[in-house]
Every structure is written in structure tokens, then in C-alpha cells.
């Protein structure tokens, strides 16, 4: 069943020099129980898309889409209050900097308990508080925090980033969401904790059938823990499909460059050879090229690339390029 | 927390040491005779002078003079006023409550009006309401209060005749002095015209309170507005929204506490401004408080009184500052760290 179905999502920012289009006609869909990775460099609009889904973007941002469906309901047509109810019930999100996503002046216990919705507590109202506390402790155990007593009584600044992120995940899964959006959940963490967290997310997906949208710029970890993959460049969707397929036979030059820049994907790379990288750097949002935004940096660019390529499809593999790579390495 | 308190108190001890040194040195720095400045007596004959010199230990070294000064302050012998030839401490005890009463009502008013308006202005920054609140705050902030006070007197007292223009209470009412706080005294007093007196005192209080509250209210509005706007951008607010809490719940559980914490600190910082403004207000409304008394003393070159006024007001400002700091630390876990 299709949970999330977004077609041609455009996110624009009103600035003094006119509208800046930060996300340009991105389509994204997610089935129940699916894990999808969303990769791209910083500034490619990954977090914007996530925030647009949850509806926590500033008023300055303009969000439009041909279709923005959650379980068949168009989110953009709901009133803010209805939308908050739908999202509050079904979607949870965890952020990049966990310690800044927790209220610095409230103890963890209070923050975790308020994330537990009333309808999940079965019992008379006078036992609500005790049940809530019990459930909070259970949630902490689920995310691998053992000394719950100390953590519940702590303020965020007294805990490490890793524990804070685990608390964030505990808050996110408190309402048994259908979709968990993880926006670069591991950037502030050590590598051992990173692996733990990814395993944790994977286990929720496998045990509870929770869909996960994993946003990251680390291709290796995304490749390991997701089934589907969407690649963004500069606010445009360049390629999407089964993770393994996208990684084995990338059709877009950008995806190809991205894969080649990761040494882990090239076991037979000779020592001390320079890694492959596209010339130039990502343009600023005020000065994006017309047409395909990769144009000036693309090794295969031709005259036609000044027109934005449409999203094309080969079985379950989508790409938007006029001149897709047909054989690997070309 | 205990360590924090100890550190604060330690710091405060140093501040008071510096303050006492300054007050002590004033007797020597003021023009005129030291014995006169210290005692507040105008006419001193020779035998009395000898007695005073040994009492103030002026024949000993400066350190002993300072210690003697501290002992006298501690024992309540603050000298006499040049103007009235009354003991200073007694005069201050009569006057200080009037100032405190006025200042605390003004501060209270500034909270009651400033905080809600600031929150409203933060929630609708682009609407007409939000913009007009900001505009009013800006106007109030730049209003010279002596002019504003005179304007209100001209309108409400002279033109409309609704409110009295001077004093704490009408001359018709005789209120026995107990605490010095007028409203409290009236409520305590055993008199049969209590409600009339209360009404009259409130009428007298209204204009000075409004004038004095103008500045702190506008500061409070813009401060709360900025703090709220800042907090509303933070990630933990987004998290709380994503948890499914509605706007009111997010505001109540996460927004208010984080936005109002810096406000507690603001009270301490605003208090010295408030006292300065209270002096002006007291002069305008002939309010028998310590501010007007101090200004009169400055005009009369009443040096002992200036010294005593400095000691009292500075002690008050420092204490309030310290109390709000401690209160802030008590409510804000982040301030207690380290």
C-alpha cells in the first residue's frame, strides 16, 4: 500500500531577488514497510523535503505539489489543524542535532512522556501517570538505554549526543508511527553509536513494519540499510530506484560520480590513486543553471541539457537525464 | 546548586566591600569639614569637635577610620541630615517604603501588560496587531518620562479633574504609620473611612504607576517578543510540533518557559533604571519617596544624606540583581551548569 505519494514537489523561498527554487519538481513515493534512502550533498534540499512532509517549514517557504498524498489524503488541502492531527498520529521525525532538538529546560522524562499519545494508554485515568512513566521506561529500554532512572531525570545537556538521539528515537516511536523520517540522524555521533542507531532503525522496520525515510549524505550507510534510494542534486531528483540496482548500474552521471567518490564501493582501486570527482562545485541557489542543474559540471553534457529532462523510467528505475549511462563506467 | 550559591554570595561580598569603600571615601571627597560631613551637625563647638574626632577615630589611621565607619553603619548610626537635623536612618526608613511601593506596582504592571503583549506580537509579527504593538512599544521606549508625566497631569488632573496630581493620599485622611506601604497600612488601620481612603490612595497611585511603568513595559514587550520569536525557531519547538502537540500545548510546555527565563534576568537589569526613573516620577508627582529626597539632598548639598542614599539604593539594586540571578539559575538548568 502506498503511504506517501508525492509528485512534482516544489519548494521555493521568497527573497529580495525573487523566488529561489530550492527543491525543483521532486517526486517521491514510499510503500508500507519500505525503507528509502534520500541522498545528496548538503544544500540539495533533502532536509527541506523532510520538513515539508512533516509541515514544520517556516512561513517564508512556499510549498507546492501536483500531488502530496498521505494514505490517499492530500496534505496540502487539509487545514493546518487537520494536517497536524494526521501527521501527529502517523509520522515521526528525528533530526540532525539531537541535543538541540530537546527542550533544554525540561527533564527527559517529561519530554518523553508527552510524546506518548493518550489512546495508547489502556487504563483508568487515575492510573494514567503511572502507565505513562512505565511506557516511557519501556521505550527507553527498546532503544537500548539501560539506566532509565538516570536518563529520565536528566536535562539534555547532561547526556551525550548518542543518548539524546536514542531519546529522540524513543519519542518518535512512542506513537507507533507508520513512517519515521530520520534526517541525518548520525552526523553528530561517533561511528560505533552510528552503527548501533542504524541497526536500531533497521530492527524497527523489520519487526514492526515501520517505513523509514533515511536522509543522509553518507552513501555507504544508506546503501547498507535501505531498499530504495533517491538521489538529489541541487534540488532536482536525478535518480531513484532499488538501492542495489541504482548502485550497480547508475544511469545518471551524478549518481555515477557519487558512487565512484566512495572508496568502499571500489575494492580494486589501487593505492594512492585520486578519487573520481566532478569538476567544479555545487552552485548557490541564487545562481542555478537552467535546465538540468548538473549541466556545467556534467562530463556528458550537450546542447539539449539546457532543457530540464523529464523523469524517465526503466522498470522500477527512474532517472532524469537526456543521455543516461547505458553500460557501467562509460 | 549549593556551589553556585556560594560563588554568587562570595562575589556579592566583594561588591559590597567596594561599595562601602566608595561610601566611606565620599565623606573625605565632599567639600567642607570632615567632621561635619560625617556627623551631619552644622554647628560644632570645640569640645564637641574633640569628642566627635575621637568618636570617628579621625586621630587614628585610615584603616581604623574605615572599620569604625563599618561599625557605625552596622549599628544604625548613619549620621544626621544637614537639612532636617534628624537621624538619617530614621528618615530613610520613612521614605523607602513609598519608593518601593511605587516601583513594585510599576514592575508588576509592566509584567502584566508587557508579557502577554510581547507574546501576541511574536505570534503575529506581520499582522496589524503585531505591528501596532511593536510601534507602541517603540514610542513608549523613546518617550521622555518627565514630559509624559506632565502631559498626563495636564490631561487627567488639570483638564478633566479626575485624578490628583501630587502626593500619596489626600490630606483629609489620617493613616497611622505602621509599615510605610500605603495600601497595606490602610488595610491594617482601624479606621471607619477605610474604603474611601483606599480609593483615594489608589487614585493617587494610578498616574505615577502608569508613568513609571511605561519604560519597563515597553522594554518587556520587545524583550519577550524577541525571545519568543527566537525560541519559536528552535528545533525543540519543531520536535514538539512533530510530536503532535497543538500550538497552545507547545507554547505552554516549551515556548513560555524558555522565552521567559531570560525575562527573570531582565528584572534585575531593569531595576536600576527603574529606580532612576522613580526619582524623576517622584519629583513630578511630589511623591514622598527616597528618590525625591535624594534629589533634594543633592540640591541642598546635604552630603551625609547623599552618602546614605547612595548606600541604600546601591545595596537595594545589588541585592535585587543577585536575587534575580539566583532565581534565574534556580529555574534554568543550563545556568547551573559548571
Q: At A248, which helix (H) or strand (E)?
A: helix A243-248
The pLDDT of B201-221, averaged and rounded, is 91
Report if residue A111 sits inside a domain.
yes
Task: Give the pLDDT score at B210.
Answer: 92
Q: Give SS3 for A70.
A: strand
Report if residue A232 sits inside a domain.
yes
Q: In this complex, is the C-beta atom of A118 within 8 Å of any C-beta atom belonging to chain B?
A: no
Rounded distance, CA A267 to CA A62, Å? Answer: 44
Cell numbers for B245: 502537540
Count of alpha carbons within 13 angstroms of residue B112, beta-carbon side:
8
In this structure, are A256 and A147 located in the same domain?
no
Report if residue A330 sits inside a domain.
no
Q: Which residues contact B311 (CB under 8 A, 6 or more apart)?
A: B19, B20, B23, B73, B78
Instruction: Spell out which residues of chain B touch residue A110, defining contact as CB-CB under 8 Å.
Output: 253
Q: Give SS3 for B36.
A: helix
Positive or negative torsion for Cα B121, B126, B132, B135? positive
In this structure, are A200 and A257 located in the same domain?
no
Question: How far, CA to CA in Å, does A120 sit from each of A88, A123, A128, A208?
Answer: 14, 10, 10, 16
| Shortest CA gap B316–chain A (Å) | 30
Report if residue B332 sits inside a domain.
yes
pLDDT at B151 over 60: yes
Q: The domain spanning residue B280 has which CATH number?
A: 1.10.3720.10
Q: Give SS3 for A27.
A: strand
Report if residue B296 sits inside a domain.
yes
In this structure, are A276 and A300 located in the same domain?
yes
Confidence bin at B218 (pLDDT 50/70/90): very high
Beta strands in chain B (DSSP E): none
In this structure, are B147 and B248 located in the same domain?
yes
| Closest C-alpha to B314, from B325, B322, B302, B304 | B322
Helices B303-331 and B2-29: crossing angle in degrees, nearest 10, is 170
- CB neighbours (10 Å) of residue B228? 24
Instruction: Spell out which residues of chain B touch residue A95, defining contact as CB-CB under 8 Å.
Output: 235, 238-239
In this structure, are A26 and A136 located in the same domain?
yes
**CB-CB contact of A95 with A101 (8 Å):** yes
| Closest C-alpha to A227, from A251, A210, A244, A239 | A244
Lowest mean pLDDT among A157-161, A200-204, A287-291: A287-291
Task: Give the pLDDT score at A120.
Answer: 75
CA B231-B235-B239 angle, to 5 degrees, is: 115
In this structure, are B124 and B156 located in the same domain?
yes
Q: Which residue of B has its CA nearest to A168?
A: B239
**CB-CB contact of A12 with A61 (8 Å):** yes
Report if residue B83 sits inside a domain.
no
In this structure, are B179 and B116 located in the same domain?
yes
In this structure, are A16 and A139 located in the same domain?
yes
Report if residue B171 sits inside a domain.
yes
Task: Give the pLDDT score at B30.
Answer: 82
DSSP per-residue string spanning B91-102:
HHHHHHHHHHHH
Report if residue B162 sits inside a domain.
yes
Strands A67-70 and A2-15, bridge-based pairing: antiparallel
Strands A35-39 and A61-64, bridge-based pairing: unpaired
Domain count, chain A: 2
In this structure, are A191 and A311 located in the same domain?
no
Report if residue A261 sits inside a domain.
yes
Q: Residue A183, class by beta-carbon neighbours within 10 Å (0-12 exposed, 13-18 middle, 19+ buried)? A: buried
Confidence bin at A329 (pLDDT 50/70/90): very low
Report if residue A313 sits inside a domain.
yes
Question: Max alpha carbon distance in chain B (Å)?
Answer: 85
Confidence bin at A327 (pLDDT 50/70/90): low
Q: How does the average pLDDT of chain A come out, rounded?
A: 83
Are the beta carbons of A95 and B239 separated by less than 8 Å? Answer: yes
Task: Give the pLDDT score at A88.
Answer: 82
Q: Give SS3 for B266.
A: helix
β-bridge partners, A237: A232
Q: The domain spanning residue A213 has which CATH number?
A: 3.40.50.300
Task: Give the pLDDT score at B337.
Answer: 66
The pLDDT of B201-212, averaged and rounded, is 90
Instruction: Spell out which residues of chain A touch residue B335, defining contact as CB-CB under 8 Å.
Output: none
| Shortest CA gap B329–chain A (Å) | 11
Q: What is the ipTM of this complex?
A: 0.70
Burial B259-291, CB ≥16 within 10 A → b, else e: bbbbbbbbbbebbbebbebbbbbbbbbebebbb
Beta strands in chain A (DSSP E): 2-15, 18-31, 35-39, 61-64, 67-70, 73-74, 91-94, 179-183, 211-216, 228-233, 236-242, 312-314, 317-319
Question: How far, CA to CA in Å, does B160 sit from each of B40, B145, B164, B203, B212?
Answer: 45, 21, 10, 14, 21
Are the beta carbons of B333 and A105 separated by less than 8 Å? Answer: yes
In this structure, are A139 and A248 located in the same domain?
no
The pLDDT of A263-267, averaged and rounded, is 77
In this structure, are A233 and A222 located in the same domain?
no
Size of interface A-B (CB pairs under 8 A): 75
Helix residue ranges, H only, B30-87: 34-39, 46-55, 62-75
Strands A179-183 and A18-31, bridge-based pairing: unpaired
In this structure, are B120 and B184 located in the same domain?
yes
Domain count, chain B: 2
> Where is the domain boundary, A194, A209, A226?
A226
In this structure, are B40 and B106 located in the same domain?
no
The rounded percent of chain A whose pLDDT value lies above 90 is: 0
Domain housing A100: 2-226
- Rounded to two decimals, what is the model's pTM? 0.76
Give which of B242, B259, B265, B332 to mutate to test A binding, by max A Cβ within 10 Å: B242
- CB neighbours (10 Å) of residue A124? 8
Report if residue B3 sits inside a domain.
no
Instruction: Spell out which residues of chain B touch residue A168, defining contact as CB-CB under 8 Å.
Output: 239
The pLDDT of B22-44, averaged and rounded, is 82
In this structure, are B286 and B258 located in the same domain?
yes
Least CB–CB distance from A103: residue in B241, B242, B258: B258
Task: Give the pLDDT score at A184.
Answer: 83
In this structure, are B199 and B288 located in the same domain?
yes
Q: Give SS3 for B311.
A: helix
In this structure, are A104 and A218 located in the same domain?
yes
The pLDDT of A264-287, averaged and rounded, is 79
In this structure, are B242 and B156 located in the same domain?
yes
The pLDDT of B121-129, averaged and rounded, is 86
β-bridge partners, A228: A36, A242
Report if residue A157 sits inside a domain.
yes
In this structure, are A236 and A212 located in the same domain?
no
**Measured between alpha carbons, how far apart are the two ends of chain A, in Å?**
37
Q: In this complex, is the C-beta atom of A175 within 8 Å of any C-beta atom belonging to chain B?
A: yes
Q: What is the pLDDT of residues B37-91, one digit of tens each?
A: 777 777 788 888 888 888 888 788 888 888 888 888 888 888 888 888 888 888 8
| Closest C-alpha to A137, from A151, A120, A156 | A151
| Residue keyed to cell 519629583 | B283
Rounded distance, CA B47 to CA B53, Å? Answer: 10
Cell numbers for A66: 501536483
In this structure, are B143 and B71 located in the same domain?
no
Report if residue B15 sits inside a domain.
no
pLDDT at B202 over 70: yes
> Where is the domain boundary, A180, A204, A226?
A226
Q: What is the pLDDT of residues A309-325, one digit of tens each?
A: 888 888 888 888 888 77
Q: Which residue of A has its CA nearest to B233?
A: A58
In this structure, are A166 and A179 located in the same domain?
yes
Report if residue B55 sits inside a domain.
yes
Report if residue A152 sits inside a domain.
yes
Task: Give the pLDDT score at B109.
Answer: 92
| Shortest CA gap A235–chain B (Å) | 23
In this structure, are B140 and B45 located in the same domain?
no
pLDDT at A330 over 50: no
In this structure, are B71 and B166 located in the same domain?
no
pLDDT at A271 over 70: yes
> Where is the domain boundary, A165, A199, A226?
A226
Lowest mean pLDDT among A191-195, B171-175, B215-219, B334-338: B334-338
In this structure, are A36 and A175 located in the same domain?
yes
Cell numbers for A269: 582501486
pLDDT at B275 over 80: yes
Report if residue A256 sits inside a domain.
yes
Rounded distance, CA A152 to CA A172, Å? Answer: 16
Number of H helices, E strands in chain A: 10, 13
Task: Give the pLDDT score at A146.
Answer: 83
Lowest mean pLDDT among A57-66, A318-327, B114-123, B195-204: A318-327
* Segment A124-132 long-range contacts (CB within 8 Å, at least 24 positions apart): none
Are the beta carbons of A56 and B241 separated by less than 8 Å? Answer: yes
Q: Give SS3 for A141.
A: helix
| Closest C-alpha to A256, from A171, A176, A329, A170 | A329
In this structure, are B60 and B96 located in the same domain?
no
Q: B241 versus B25: which is more confidently predicted?
A: B25
* Most confident residue range from A19-33, A238-252, B31-45, B213-227: B213-227
Q: In this complex, is the C-beta atom of A84 within 8 Å of any C-beta atom belonging to chain B?
A: yes
Rounded distance, CA A62 to CA A75, Å? Answer: 14
Domain housing B69: 20-75
| Shortest CA gap B328–chain A (Å) | 12
Amino acid at each position: 500500500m502506498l503511504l506517501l505519494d508525492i509528485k512534482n514537489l516544489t519548494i521555493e523561498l521568497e527573497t529580495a531577488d525573487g523566488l529561489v527554487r530550492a527543491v525543483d519538481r521532486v517526486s517521491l513515493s514510499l510503500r508500507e514497510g519500505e525503507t528509502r534512502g534520500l541522498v545528496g550533498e548538503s544544500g540539495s534540499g533533502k532536509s527541506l523535503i523532510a520538513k515539508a512532509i512533516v509541515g514544520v517549514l517556516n512561513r517564508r517557504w512556499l510549498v507546492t505539489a501536483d500531488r502530496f498524498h498521505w494514505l490517499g489524503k492530500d496534505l496540502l488541502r487539509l487545514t493546518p489543524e487537520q494536517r497536524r492531527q494526521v501527521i501527529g498520529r502517523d509520522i515521526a521525525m528525528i533530526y540532525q542535532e539531537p541535543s538541540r532538538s530537546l527542550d533544554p529546560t525540561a527533564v527527559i522524562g517529561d519530554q518523553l512522556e508527552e510524546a506518548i499519545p493518550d489512546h495508547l494508554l489502556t487504563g483508568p485515568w487515575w492510573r494514567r501517570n503511572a502507565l505513562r512513566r512505565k511506557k516511557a521506561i519501556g521505550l527507553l529500554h527498546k532503544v537500548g538505554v539501560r539506566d532509565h532512572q538516570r536518563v529520565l531525570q536528566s536535562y539534555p545537556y547532561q547526556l551525550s549526543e548518542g543518548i539524546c538521539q536514542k531519546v529522540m528515537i524513543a519519542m518518535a516511536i512512542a506513537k507507533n508511527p507508520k513512517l519515521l523520517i530520520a534526517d541525518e540522524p548520525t552526523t553528530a555521533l561517533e561511528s560505533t553509536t552510528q552503527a548501533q542507531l542504524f541497526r536500531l532503525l533497521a530492527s524497527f522496520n523489520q519487526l514492526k513494519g515501520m517505513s523509514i525515510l533515511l536522509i543522509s549524505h553518507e552513501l555507504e550507510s544508506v546503501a547498507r540499510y535501505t531498499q530504495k534510494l533517491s538521489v538529489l542534486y541541487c534540488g532536482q531528483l536525478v535518480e531513484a530506484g532499488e538501492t542495489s540496482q541504482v548502485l550497480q548500474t547508475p544511469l545518471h552521471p551524478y549518481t555515477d560520480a557519487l558512487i565512484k567518490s566512495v572508496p568502499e564501493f571500489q575494492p580494486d582501486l589501487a593505492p594512492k590513486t585520486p578519487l573520481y570527482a566532478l569538476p567544479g562545485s555545487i552552485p548557490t541557489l541564487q545562481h542555478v543553471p537552467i535546465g538540468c542543474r548538473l549541466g556545467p559540471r556534467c562530463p556528458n553534457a550537450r546542447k539539449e541539457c539546457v532543457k530540464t529532462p523529464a523523469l524517465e523510467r526503466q522498470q522500477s528505475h527512474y532517472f532524469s537525464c537526456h543521455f543516461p549511462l547505458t553500460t557501467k563506467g562509460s | 546548586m549549593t556551589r553556585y550559591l556560594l560563588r554568587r554570595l562570595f562575589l556579592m561580598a566583594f561588591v559590597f566591600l567596594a561599595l562601602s569603600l566608595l561610601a566611606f571615601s565620599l565623606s573625605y571627597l565632599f567639600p567642607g569639614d570632615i567632621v561635619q560631613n560625617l556627623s551631619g551637625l552644622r554647628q560644632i563647638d570645640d569640645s564637641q569637635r574633640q569628642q566627635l574626632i575621637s568618636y570617628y577615630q579621625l586621630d587614628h589611621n585610615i584603616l581604623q577610620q574605615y572599620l569604625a565607619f563599618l561599625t557605625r553603619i552596622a549599628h544604625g548610626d548613619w549620621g544626621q541630615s544637614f537639612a532636617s537635623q534628624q537621624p538619617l536612618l530614621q528618615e530613610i526608613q520613612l521614605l523607602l517604603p513609598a519608593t518601593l511601593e511605587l516601583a513594585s506596582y510599576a514592575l508588576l504592571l509592566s509584567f502584566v501588560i508587557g508579557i502577554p503583549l510581547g507574546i501576541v506580537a511574536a505570534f503575529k509579527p506581520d499582522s496589524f496587531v503585531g505591528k501596532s504593538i511593536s510601534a507602541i512599544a517603540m514610542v513608549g521606549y523613546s518617550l521622555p518620562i518627565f514630559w509624559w508625566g506632565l502631559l498626563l497631569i495636564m490631561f487627567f488632573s488639570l483638564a478633566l479633574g479626575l485624578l490628583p496630581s501630587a502626593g500619596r493620599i489626600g490630606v483629609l485622611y489620617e493613616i497611622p504609620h505602621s509599615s510605610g506601604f500605603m495600601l497595606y497600612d490602610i488595610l491594617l488601620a482601624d479606621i471607619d473611612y477605610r474604603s474611601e481612603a483606599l480609593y483615594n490612595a489608589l487614585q493617587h497611585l494610578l498616574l505615577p504607576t502608569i508613568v513609571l511603568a511605561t519604560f519597563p513595559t515597553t522594554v518587556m514587550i520587545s524583550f519577550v517578543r524577541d525571545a519568543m520569536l527566537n525560541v519559536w525557531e528552535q528545533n525543540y519547538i519543531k520536535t514538539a510540533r512533530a510530536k503532535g502537540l497543538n500550538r497552545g500545548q507547545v507554547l505552554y510546555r516549551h515556548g513560555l518557559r524558555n522565552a521567559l527565563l531570560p525575562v527573570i534576568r531582565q528584572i534585575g537589569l531593569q531595576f536600576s533604571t527603574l529606580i532612576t526613573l522613580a526619582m524623576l516620577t517622584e519629583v513630578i508627582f511630589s511623591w514622598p519617596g527616597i528618590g525625591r529626597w535624594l534629589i533634594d539632598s543633592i540640591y541642598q548639598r546635604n552630603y551625609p544624606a547623599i552618602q546614605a542614599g547612595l548606600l541604600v539604593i546601591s545595596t537595594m539594586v545589588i541585592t535585587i540583581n543577585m536575587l534575580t540571578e539566583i532565581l534565574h539559575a534556580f529555574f534554568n538548568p543550563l545556568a547551573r551548569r559548571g
